[in-house]
Amino acid sequence: MRIEYYGLCPLNAYTRYRLTYSFTADIDTVSAGSNGLLFTPYIAGERTPHVEANIRGSFIGIDSIHERRHFVRTLLEGITFSLNESVKIFRESGKTIDTIVSIGGGAKNATWLQMQADIFNAKIIKMKSEQGPGMGAAILAANGCGWFDSIKDCAEQFLNEADIYEPIPANVEKYEELFAIYQDVYTKTKALNNQLMAFRD
């Protein structure tokens, strides 16, 4: 069994899940925009749409009124804004994106799923199993064993929708304004981050 440490306490998978759940438990009490707090998730540089190794993350707008729940919500908003930059590229190239299937950790929190719907301005589908890659491998294996006539038939048996999240128009409008500010942070912090590189060990 893999053990991780949080402070001096060993963590198993259940404890790690409980910590994650408690960490995000009250983000639904914070309105869209995290009360004026913005996060850019450039923790290890950025790849899309900016190929930039030196850019780093930042919190913009920190105020004494902000609590842990604001920081957690803006973390998720920042990550989703980053994903939205890729969605924007597809849309600008003429693709229609009106439905997105959310998998992995991002599909485990209802507030984050609604946030995705609002930021992407698209319907978000949560599957009964959020294990996307593993489920895909199982579908290919089952089809390869000849248990189904086609991958499509197999997928229809394996894949089942659990919930659907529709964009909330008021939040969509608010996030569109915030996304423009989010995109501006990169250009306004790039030079600062390049200068800070000299101070990294």
- Looking at residue 4, its pLDDT comes to 46
- Looking at residue 125, its pLDDT comes to 94
- Looking at residue 200, its pLDDT comes to 87
The 3-state DSSP class for residue 135 equals helix
| Count of other CB atoms within 10 angstroms of residue 140 | 13
Pairing of strands 123-127, 99-102: parallel
- Looking at residue 3, its pLDDT comes to 44
* End-to-end Cα separation, the chain, in angstroms: 34
Tens of pLDDT, residue by residue, the chain (201 residues): 444 444 445 555 655 555 566 788 899 999 999 999 999 999 988 888 888 888 999 999 999 999 999 999 999 999 999 999 999 999 999 999 999 998 887 788 999 999 999 999 999 999 888 777 888 898 899 989 999 999 998 888 888 889 999 999 999 999 999 999 999 999 999 999 999 999 988
- Looking at residue 15, its pLDDT comes to 56
Q: Are 118 and 171 in contact (CB under 8 A)?
A: yes
In angstroms, the CA 83 to CA 110 distance is 18
- Looking at residue 46, its pLDDT comes to 86
| Beta strand residue intervals within the chain, DSSP E | 4-6, 9-11, 38-40, 58-60, 99-102, 123-127, 161-165
Query: Which class would CATH give 4-94+182-199?
Result: alpha beta
In angstroms, the CA 6 to CA 77 distance is 25
- Looking at residue 159, its pLDDT comes to 85
